[in-house]
A and B are shown apart, each in its own frame.
Chain A
Amino acid sequence: CTSGLRACFPSPKMAAPVSLLVEFGGGAELLFDGIKKHQVTLPCQPEPWDIRNLLKWIKQNLLKERPELFIQGDTVRPGILVLINDADWELMGELDYKLQDQDNVVFISTLHGG
């Protein structure tokens, strides 16, 4: 699943691959080559895909520079809002929210001038 090189062994414990639309705004897109919308597919893996794992994946695969401006520890830097399907992630369990196929996750930075 990951790059077509390793066989994916379907079993009850594997999470299906998850397709997401990940968006960056409010200036956060500057850390991602200025690209606001990213259609991504997260590969099969034993652990279910939640926001916590998504952040790690983003850091490894999408983030182009200065990770400390986006991620602090295992969560987003304070001042970055997260919306899941247009709803505040605080209502959805924050890092523990389990991603579903076709979910939309938006990261908006509030840290710039007004």
Chain B
Amino acid sequence: VGQCVRPACRAGGAETPAPTAAPTMPATCSACGSSPAALRRPKTGHALCRACFLAAFEEETHRAIVAGRLFRPGETVAIGASGGKDSTVLAHLLQLLDQRHGYGLHLLLLSVDEGITGYRDASLAAVRRHQRRSGLPLHVVSYRQLYGWSMDRIARHLGPRNNCTFCGVFRRQALDRGALLMGADKIATGHNADDVAETVLMNFLRGDVGRLRRGAGAGPAGGEGAVPRCKPLRHAYEKEIVLYAYFQGLDYFSTECVYAPQAYRGYARALLKDLEAARPSAVADLGHSGERLSLRPDLRLPARGTCQRCGYVASQPLCKACVLLEGLDRGLPKLGIGKYRRLRDKLRDGQPLTQEERRRLGAPAEGEPSEEQEPRGEPGTDEEPWGRRELRVPRDLDF
């Protein structure tokens, strides 16, 4: 873009008008009273300078960890690391606070490779860069190894919708399995206040009473999986996490997952952003409501049991991951999506399905060649196109 050629404009001489108002300068930091403020904190409206903000954010995270009794000395904590902003800030903070306050933790990075070309391979590169800078051990578990199905392959069979259902269910188990293999006592994830607020909204919108009972997704720790989890950043606003990373110069990866545009969470997120614009405390308040929710005592809710096939936590005879995999392996990818109880019972009882029933469950149309099953990676070899050496997972994982 060129500059104005007229000498008068370039020289800024007499013909250039004086500014109509003094340049806007930000307010002074309300904490130290000396430096100019760099941000206005969404929850409180206070204006803080860069240094005071960084210090406050770190201190508040430390207090949340202590008050929530999230860790015990000597524990091994697997940090769910995706390469994105939240998990990058989480890993940076946990390492810093562990050193500063002597938590006495063994920290490691745990990444899940869902097999999404163009998305996950790039973000895992960011995790590896973090690993090199931080010196923390890194382990990667992949869907292909664990389940024999990458997300790319699932999406080819399933179509553009419902991919997030598979991915979320598989990731939860993948993190648990990875953590157990690493001997971790706990998993820490980077969920922030916005994530929690969105989950509360989604659970309400879907009438998911089971999850509403469990705190609607809010609350410090989850005991639903095989390994206890915690969310040290659950009170931190997404805006502050982004600015913390920006001011600290942290390197993270950000792109929307290619399968996400249709995800229901996107609607909850858009709603939350509009609510936040009108009243910034809405984000924290939604989490507050979720944590303090209690349900009518006369409600009949699913009981916690174990999956008959893999032993994972489940409220049905088969866990959700096994149901989803069953559908994929049989060429009926929609078996686990939607209410097909009657058809699932038919399959379980060994009865054949009609062509129409198979079609409703997502079977390929007649005449379409069915794909050969993707082989599981052989331990010790590099089967992935990017040549990564995966964590070796025993075939018959049993716990």
**Are A114's CB and B192's CB within 8 A?**
yes
**Are B39's CB and A88's CB within 8 A?**
yes
In angstroms, Cα B190 to Cα A114, docked, is 7
On chain B, the residues within 8 Å of A3 by CB distance are 2
Q: With CB as the reference atom, state the residue of chain B lying closest to A97.
A: B24
Given contacts A81-B239, A91-B26, A112-B84, A10 and B8 within 8 Å (CB-CB): yes
On chain A, the residues within 8 Å of B277 by CB distance are 78
The minimal Cβ–Cβ distance linking A66 to chain B, given in whole angstroms, is 11
Q: With CB as the reference atom, state the residue of chain A lying closest to B191.
A: A114
Q: B338 near A: Cβ within 8 Å?
A: no
List 3 tightest A-B contacts by C-beta distance, closest first. Answer: A114-B86, A78-B273, A91-B26
Q: With CB as the reference atom, state the residue of chain B lying closest to A39.
A: B1
Given contacts A15-B17, A98-B23, A110-B238, A91 and B85 within 8 Å (CB-CB): no
**Are B255's CB and A10's CB within 8 A?**
no
Q: A67 near B: Cβ within 8 Å?
A: no
**Are A17's CB and B4's CB within 8 A?**
yes
Q: Residues of B with Cβ closer than 8 Å to A? A: 1-6, 8-9, 12, 15-17, 19-21, 23-24, 26-27, 36-40, 47, 50, 82, 84-87, 190-192, 194-195, 238-239, 241-243, 246, 254-257, 260, 269-270, 273-274, 276-277
Q: With CB as the reference atom, state the residue of chain B lying closest to A14.
A: B17
Contact of B84 (CB < 8 Å), options: A30, A79, A113 = A113
Interface residues of A in 5-26 (CB under 8 A from B): 7-8, 10-17, 19, 25-26
On chain B, the residues within 8 Å of A83 by CB distance are 246
On chain B, the residues within 8 Å of A55 by CB distance are none
Given contacts A15-B17, A78-B273, A97-B24, A114 and B246 within 8 Å (CB-CB): no
**Are B256's CB and A92's CB within 8 A?**
no
The minimal Cβ–Cβ distance linking B269 to chain A, given in whole angstroms, is 7
**Are A86's CB and B9's CB within 8 A?**
no
Q: With CB as the reference atom, state the residue of chain B lying closest to A112.
A: B254
**Are A16's CB and B12's CB within 8 A?**
yes
On chain B, the residues within 8 Å of A108 by CB distance are 242, 246
On chain B, the residues within 8 Å of A1 by CB distance are 4, 6, 9
**Are A109's CB and B40's CB within 8 A?**
no
In angstroms, Cα B50 to Cα A114, docked, is 22
**Are A10's CB and B36's CB within 8 A?**
no
Known: A10-B15, A78-B274, A98-B19. 17 other contacts (CB 8 A): A1-B6, A4-B5, A8-B9, A10-B9, A11-B15, A15-B17, A27-B254, A78-B277, A79-B273, A88-B26, A88-B243, A91-B26, A98-B23, A100-B19, A111-B269, A113-B254, A114-B241
In angstroms, Cα B20 to Cα A100, docked, is 11
On chain B, the residues within 8 Å of A81 by CB distance are 239, 242-243
The minimal Cβ–Cβ distance linking A70 to chain B, given in whole angstroms, is 14
Interface residues of A in 68-114 (CB under 8 A from B): 77-79, 81, 83, 86-88, 90-93, 97-98, 100, 106, 108-114
Given contacts A48-B20, A78-B274, A113-B84, A91 and B27 within 8 Å (CB-CB): yes
Q: With CB as the reference atom, state the residue of chain B lying closest to A19.
A: B3
In angstroms, Cα B254 to Cα A52, docked, is 26
The minimal Cβ–Cβ distance linking A47 to chain B, given in whole angstroms, is 11
Contact of B255 (CB < 8 Å), options: A79, A90, A98, A112 = A112
On chain A, the residues within 8 Å of B37 by CB distance are 87-88, 91
On chain A, the residues within 8 Å of B238 by CB distance are 110, 114
Contact of A87 (CB < 8 Å), options: B21, B38, B190, B269 = B38
Interface residues of A in 31-60 (CB under 8 A from B): 40-41, 43-44, 48
User: Which of B4, B20, B47, B260 has the most chain A CB atoms closer than 10 A to its own CB?
Assistant: B4
Contact of B21 (CB < 8 Å), options: A10, A98, A113 = A98
On chain B, the residues within 8 Å of A15 by CB distance are 17
Sampled A-B contacts (7; CB under 8 Å): A3-B2, A10-B8, A13-B17, A87-B26, A97-B24, A98-B24, A114-B195
**Are B3's CB and A41's CB within 8 A?**
yes
Given contacts A1-B9, A92-B26, A97-B24, A16 and B16 within 8 Å (CB-CB): yes
User: Which of B190, B255, B257 has the most chain A CB atoms closer than 10 A to its own CB?
Assistant: B255
Q: With CB as the reference atom, state the residue of chain B lying closest to A99.
A: B23
On chain B, the residues within 8 Å of A86 by CB distance are 38, 50
